[in-house]
Chain A
Amino acid sequence: QVQLQESGPGLVKPSETLSLTCTVSGGSIGTFYWSWIRQTPGKGLEWIGYVHHSGNTKYNPSLKSRVTISVDTSKNEFSLRLSSVTAADTAVYYCAREGSSEYFQYWGQGTRVTVSS
């Protein structure tokens, strides 16, 4: 059974960069696509982007200018960097693995990130 676990700071200052890592266990990161998704009370669920083990990425156009998603196959983990954060980036951030198409078959438990000085 594939399991995903997010890790990273729970508090980030405005204008700084949010960095999170997702560690994958129970399966190799060397297949499928791996995504970041966030959830806020106001905007609901929002897909941020995905990375493939080859390094290929695709981002939500609304966040593309601020997002970088990368993969480290040696550690079986992938990461999210979101720059120039504001209070609007306060959310629960989930990592997820896609199924045969761009739906999300496995999810991490989520990590809450607050943007505040």
Chain B
Amino acid sequence: EIVLTQSPDTLSLSPGERATLSCRASQSVPGNYVAWYQQKPGQAPRLLIYGASSRATGIPDRVSGSGSGTDFTLTISRLEPEDFAVYYCQQHGRSPTFGGGTKVEIK
């Protein structure tokens, strides 16, 4: 099983600031197949990024993903009020597994 570790647990930022979220895998992810999701309270996760860097339909270009091998990053260039949420990474190179999440909160 590929274990994903996300850091930090919580990121306290102000609107307009840049958010950088990390996801580290216990072993190299086949195909660099990493997805990122946003989840707000009481809602299902929403797909943002797949294949490490491909944006899902309707996701703004201020949201980007990068990385390869075992280290992956989600970047939100300028935080909007609707971006404050919990973010999860997931590897889809083998039997799917998820990271523990990073909460982006308003400072």
Contact = CB atoms under 8 A, between A and B. Distances in A.
Contact of B92 (A45, A61, A101): A101
A107 B44 contact: yes
B95 A101 contact: no
A107 B45 contact: yes
A52 to B, nearest CB: 15
A101 B98 contact: no
A105 B1 CA distance: 22
B92 A103 contact: yes
A107 B37 CA distance: 11
Chain B interface bracket (under 10, 10 to 19, 20 to 34, 35 or more): 20 to 34
B45 to A, nearest CB: 6
Given A58-B95, A101-B50, A94 B33 contact: no
Contacts, number: 58
Interface in A86-117: 94, 99-105, 107-110
Given A61-B1, A103-B50, A45 B33 contact: no
B88 interface: yes
B11 interface: no
Interface residues of A, number: 20
Contacts of B101: 44
Interface string B26-50: 0000010101010000011111001
Contacts of A103: 33, 35, 47, 50-51, 90, 92, 96
Interface of B: 1, 31, 33, 35, 37, 43-47, 50-51, 56, 88, 90, 92-93, 95-101
Given A44-B99, A103-B90, 7 more contacts: A44-B98, A46-B98, A101-B92, A103-B47, A104-B37, A105-B50, A109-B43
Interface of A: 35, 44-47, 58, 60-61, 94, 99-105, 107-110
